[in-house]
Structure 1
Amino acid sequence: MPSAPLDLRLLSSFLAVVEEGHFGRAAARLFLSPPAVTQHVRRLETELGTLLVDRSASPVVPTPAGVRLAGHARVLLAASNAAVDDMAEAVRLDRNAVERPLRVGIMGHGSAELTPAAINAYRRARPDVRVEIRQLDFTEHVTALTEDRVDVAFVRPSPDDARVVADVLTTEQRIVVVPARSPLADARLSGATVADIAGLPFFRVPGHTPQTFTDYLYFGEEAQRRSTDFAVTPQEVLTGVVTGRAAGSGLRSFARYYAWPGAVFVPVVDAPWESSYLAVRADEENPEVRIFRALAVALARELGPVINSEGLNGEGLNNEGLRP
């Protein structure tokens, strides 16, 4: 193992080879000579004590060790690029400006395990910047950003507003949550269809909730708002569920975070999968937002497939029998 930190130049050359599948194309992309790129990869292999790419394949492919390193390389290089951008921005900023915290909004459980992973990665990268966590309700899908209450927001689905841009972080199967005594609870293993859930008493949301969010909640069916209960947080949804007054919907990872006794999570097998997003203001100039966004997107590439399938700990969905 290396006795010194990894050289980012070596990582950059290695990652270019992995992504291009060819030493020559990687060299052209980096404006280096092919021998230089080859030397960088060899030096990295020597430092790590293992082969990182299979040179006999066409195109060149990473070895198992190379696959693992590529994920780390993306995160490190993204953080490095974001740091360079930050320093360039710092030169022009007023040195006497009052530092404000990075305000992170989270709707429900955000993007599952990726949410704390991104926040912790940012805290390690920027230990001098204070982070404030703010819980968002369903009505703040867009307004938390446009009204400047948060700087970044973990939301779902993608906001339909030109003032906001969003990156996909996870993509998951849809579920509905029903009381354990509901007839639909028997479908916890086999799953239900959109037609099966048409008669559920889904909770209501306030009228000022964005239409894109209500379409997501009700699977695009306005007629499904049958409960008299209103809810703007997952906890309110689950209270309505376990008391038999309402049903809810969400992403598959919802069950890992809200496994309440008396609530059963049923996969909706024919509903389109939906994504969770990291949203920011389209005209955002805060360099800290760019750093956080770069880290979150890089982590999503590395950890997303694991989270989407079963969570970082390999756990099933809940103790009601529903498993990935």
Structure 2
Amino acid sequence: MPSPHVTLRQLRVLLAVAEHEGFGRAGDSIGLSQPAVSQAVRGLEAELGLKLLDRTTREVVLTAAGQALVGPLRRLLGELDGVLDEARGSGAAARGIVRVASAPTISGGLMPQVLAAARQRFPDIQVRLGDQTQQLAVEAVRNGEVDFAVLVGIEAAEPDLEQQPLFDEHFVLVCPAGHELAERPLLMLPDLAGRPLVLLDYSSGSRPLIDRAFARAGVMPRVALDVGHPATAFRMVQAGLGVSVLPALSLPLPDAAALRAVPLEAALSRQVVLARRRQRSLAPAAQRLWGLIAALAAEWPTSP
């Protein structure tokens, strides 16, 4: 019999360390600090009386005992997650609850209309929206914490996720109203060369797209600040710390008298998608909301 003091959390931490081969990366994947990961592993080793990991300054590897434990543990926890997902889904379906995650710019730009329409058309459905960074929203879908998510399209292969494109969205340059670029009808990326930029950080699904677009244009961006939310970028631009490249869903501007949004060339765009776990059926309430979002997105303006 396993020790009554061995916790499910400790076992999940061990699996994360084994998969990511490091405490820091494992902590990032499950939302724990590196000290918390180390403490959980030490506690598990103490309870089992086994050394499960060999730690060096460069890597963390499983011992023979750790390898013997991790294989069956991965299978058992996978089965447990499946049982919990089914129970969670059954309970939510019975109550008409749909859990949706969305990236911050999408939460502010598209989801208010979605929630208002859902309340009017489907009063029996309770929508619980998680406003999360792209990375956390993807993990929430993978882990079954939400029924689906509305995200920036993921270009890399994602075997666990099924994506349905909604629309392509352009980007804008946000600058002070008196800026020399404020009255231009359309800007090209080379127009931004050498200018201090306030950009969304790498928790955003948009930042890799921005970086690649600048690279294709042969422009080395001068990044003055990395921020986590468009509202922060607006404030930084108002303070004169730079200009910002943001998706159009970040609009409207908080102070139209002080700021301007100028369309950027179509070479910089992003695809907004619905994402759910592959080969997993949605509950009826979630399927109705999925269809509503797809219908509303079909009417969304996409041109600069």
Please indicate the TM-score interval, normalised by the length of the shorter structure: 0.5 to 0.7
Tell me, yes or no, if the aligned pair for 1:111 and 1:169 is still in contact at 8 Å.
no
User: Per-residue deviation at 1:151?
Assistant: 2.9
Tell me, yes or no, if the aligned pair for 1:103 and 1:134 is still in contact at 8 Å.
yes
1:196 equivalent in alignment to 2:195: no
Percent identical among aligned pairs is 21
The residue aligned with 1:110 is 106
TM-score (norm 2): 0.56
> Which digits, 9 at most, give the CA deviation of each residue in 1:137-196, with x for residues without a partner?
355463343344433322224463332222222333321112334332242xx2211111
Q: 1:214 aligned to 196, 207, 210, which one?
A: 207
TM-score (norm 1): 0.53
User: Per-residue deviation at 1:252?
Assistant: 3.4
User: Per-residue deviation at 1:271?
Assistant: 2.4
Q: Which amino acid aligns with 1:237?
A: A
> Which digits, 9 at most, give the CA deviation of each residue in 1:253-275, with x for residues without a partner?
43336455422211113525433
Aligned residues: 211
* Root mean square deviation, CA, Å: 3.5
CA distance in 2, matches of 1:94, 1:108: 29
CA distance in 1, matches of 2:251, 2:173: 10
1:133 equivalent in alignment to 2:126: no
1:163 equivalent in alignment to 2:160: yes
Q: 1:247 aligned to 234, 243, 255, which one?
A: 243
Tell me, yes or no, if the aligned pair for 1:202 and 1:225 is still in contact at 8 Å.
yes
1:298 equivalent in alignment to 2:295: yes
> Which digits, 9 at most, give the CA deviation of each residue in 1:275-319, with x for residues without a partner?
322222324433133222122223333x23xx336xxxxxxxxxx
Tell me, yes or no, if the aligned pair for 1:192 and 1:269 is still in contact at 8 Å.
yes
CA distance in 2, matches of 1:252, 1:293: 22
Could you say what secondary structure the match of 2:222 adopts? coil
User: Per-residue deviation at 1:219?
Assistant: 5.1
CA pair 179-148 structure 1, distance change in 2 beyond 3 A: farther
Q: Which amino acid aligns with 1:277?
A: V
The residue aligned with 1:85 is none
CA pair 95-240 structure 1, distance change in 2 beyond 3 A: closer
Structure 1: gaps spanning 5 or more residues: 1-92, 310-323
The residue aligned with 2:302 is 308
The residue aligned with 1:98 is 91
Tell me, yes or no, if the aligned pair for 1:178 and 1:247 is still in contact at 8 Å.
yes
User: Per-residue deviation at 1:235?
Assistant: 0.9
Structure 2: gaps spanning 5 or more residues: 1-85
Could you say what secondary structure the match of 2:273 adopts? strand
The residue aligned with 1:74 is none
CA distance in 1, matches of 2:228, 2:267: 23
> Which digits, 9 at most, give the CA deviation of each residue in 1:221-242, with x for residues without a partner?
3675533422111111212211
User: Per-residue deviation at 1:112?
Assistant: 7.6
